């Protein structure tokens, strides 16, 4: 428990970084799906 008490800031920074990375990956994949749907809709029209 001493480690947690002494390094609270680093733990918070790691958690926040993980959240930002997760959002980045999610948005990157979402962009790929939207691009794919846009290409398919252009070919159908």
Query: Mind listing the pLDDT tens digit for each residue in 16-45?
Result: 999 999 999 999 999 999 999 999 999 876
DSSP H helical ranges for the chain: 2-6, 8-44
The tokens for 43 are 């070919």
CB burial readout 24-40, b (16+ within 10 A) else e: eeeeeeeeeeeeeeeee
pLDDT at 7 over 70: yes
pLDDT at 4 over 80: no
Domain boundaries, the chain: 2-44
Q: What pLDDT score does 45 carry?
A: 64
Q: Are 28 and 21 in contact (CB under 8 A)?
A: no
Q: What pLDDT score does 3 carry?
A: 77
Q: What pTM, to 2 d.p., does this model score?
A: 0.71
The tokens for 40 are 């398919």
Of 37, 16, 15, 35, the C-alpha closest to 27 is 35
């Amino acid at each position: 428990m001493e480690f947690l008490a002494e390094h609270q800031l680093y733990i918070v920074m790691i958690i926040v970084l993980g959240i930002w990375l997760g959002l980045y990956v999610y948005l990157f994949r979402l962009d790929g799906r939207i691009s794919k749907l846009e290409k398919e809709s252009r070919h159908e029209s």
